[in-house]
């Protein structure tokens, strides 16, 4: 048994990762169609010993397709996902466009797989920062009930796409050689620098990335009043986001038990060496599936509160892997 699959946005960073993960996990397919912009049409991509040709994305691209893995940008999904559904396909969409739409499931398979069954043609993949945070947060929430979570993110260039990753490489080289560099994707000096996340700033003072983490967590956890505040920061790392979580619970948490809970949590691995002051780093997570967690400790300033540190590959579990896992459950 196999499925007729299309990748929408096949030439981007997440599209490239879709191909790697479909091959690694031996996803059952009888055919694979690669779709991208007119600019990328005709490009040749090797996959499982074959050479596939990228086709231009049109509203007629989905005839006979059963599954679409989409990661071509919100405006593209807005325009083309309905055409895919009309043609009979199920779309697993990695953009932000459908995430908060009423009636469209927003799914992390380790947390709310039952929501997949509620789809009417489109299933949304959460924001990468939300996924990386939610995997360790949810099992702790089930045990002690989160009262409030305060999050600081340290986000890699991969979150802004393949071109941003290339800009970071090029700007770093230029900086080291003392040469000027003109950026086209990242708005601020990026090499050896960091800055609050450059998504749209809202009237509240929060940026869109920070609001996504709150709203998406509420939807995934089915907790409409879940309390969370985030400060999102872009750091000069190629891929893999890091996050610091300060979590206040309604009940007193136990650190030793928290470690045991997270050791058993799907999609999570403990990675640390306390004797060497060694904790998860972006290089540990890059190209890997788990969200790595460490440095659990009681907050000395507040009762019923603990801190932890987690790192996850933004392109894999934060995007492509999560979408493929949803497709596997379909």
Please check whether residue 153 is in contact with residue 243, taking contact to mean a CB–CB distance below 8 angstroms. Answer: yes
Residue 105 phi, psi dihedral angles, 5° rounding: -65, 140
Please check whether residue 208 is in contact with residue 99, taking contact to mean a CB–CB distance below 8 angstroms. Answer: no
Is 222 catalytic? The answer is no
Please check whether residue 148 is in contact with residue 248, taking contact to mean a CB–CB distance below 8 angstroms. Answer: yes
Residue 106 phi, psi dihedral angles, 5° rounding: -120, 115
**What's the rounded Cα separation, in Å, for the pair 255 and 180?**
49
**What's the rounded Cα separation, in Å, for the pair 114 and 118?**
8
Please check whether residue 141 is in contact with residue 265, taking contact to mean a CB–CB distance below 8 angstroms. Answer: no
**276-298 per-residue burial string, b: 16 or more CB within 10 A, e: under 16:** eeebbbbebbbebbbbbbbebeb
**Active-site position among 119, 128, 197, 207:** 128
Is 128 catalytic? The answer is yes
Please check whether residue 280 is in contact with residue 294, taking contact to mean a CB–CB distance below 8 angstroms. Answer: yes
**Active-site position among 119, 141, 197, 241:** 241
Please check whether residue 245 is in contact with residue 217, taking contact to mean a CB–CB distance below 8 angstroms. Answer: no
Q: How far is CA 71 from CA 7, 34, 77, 161, in A?
A: 8, 12, 8, 10
Q: How far is CA 112 from CA 60, 73, 101, 134, 157, in A?
A: 33, 24, 17, 11, 28
**76-100 per-residue burial string, b: 16 or more CB within 10 A, e: under 16:** bbeebbebbbebebbbbbbbbbbbe
Helices 321-329 and 13-24: angle between axes, nearest 10 degrees? 50
The HSE-up count of residue 306 (CA atoms within 13 Å, CB side) is 25
Report the catalytic residues. 128, 241
């Amino acid at each position: 048994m196999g499925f007729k699959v299309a990748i929408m946005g096949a030439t981007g960073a997440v599209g490239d990762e879709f191909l790697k993960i479909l091959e690694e996990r031996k996803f059952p397919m009888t055919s694979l169609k690669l779709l991208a912009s007119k600019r990328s049409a005709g490009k040749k991509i090797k996959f499982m010993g074959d050479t596939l040709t990228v086709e231009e994305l049109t509203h007629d691209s989905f005839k006979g397709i059963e599954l679409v893995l989409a990661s071509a940008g919100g405006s593209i999904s807005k325009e083309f996902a309905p055409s895919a559904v009309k043609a009979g396909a199920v779309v697993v969409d990695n953009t932000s466009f459908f995430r908060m739409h009423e009636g469209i499931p927003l799914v992390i398979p380790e947390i709310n797989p039952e929501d997949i069954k509620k789809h009417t043609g489109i299933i949304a993949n959460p924001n990468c920062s939300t996924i990386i945070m939610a995997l360790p947060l949810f099992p702790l929430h089930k045990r002690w009930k989160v009262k409030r979570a305060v999050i600081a993110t340290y986000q890699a260039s991969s979150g802004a796409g393949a071109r941003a990753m290339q800009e970071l490489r090029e700007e770093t080289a230029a900086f080291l050689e003392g040469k000027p560099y003109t950026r086209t994707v990242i708005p601020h000096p990026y090499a050896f620098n960091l800055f609050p996340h450059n998504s749209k700033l809202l009237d509240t003072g929060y940026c869109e990335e920070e609001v996504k983490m709150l709203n998406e967590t509420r939807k995934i956890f089915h907790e409409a009043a879940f309390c969370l505040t985030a400060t999102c920061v872009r750091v000069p790392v190629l891929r893999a986001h890091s996050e610091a979580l300060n979590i206040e619970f309604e009940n007193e948490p136990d650190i030793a038990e928290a470690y045991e809970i997270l050791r058993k949590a799907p999609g999570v691995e403990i990675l640390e060496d306390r004797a060497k002051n060694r904790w998860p780093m972006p290089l540990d997570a890059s190209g890997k599936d788990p969200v790595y967690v460490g440095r659990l400790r009681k907050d000395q300033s507040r009762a019923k509160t603990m801190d932890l540190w987690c790192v996850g590959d933004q392109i894999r579990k934060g995007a492509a892997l999560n979408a493929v896992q949803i497709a596997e459950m379909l």
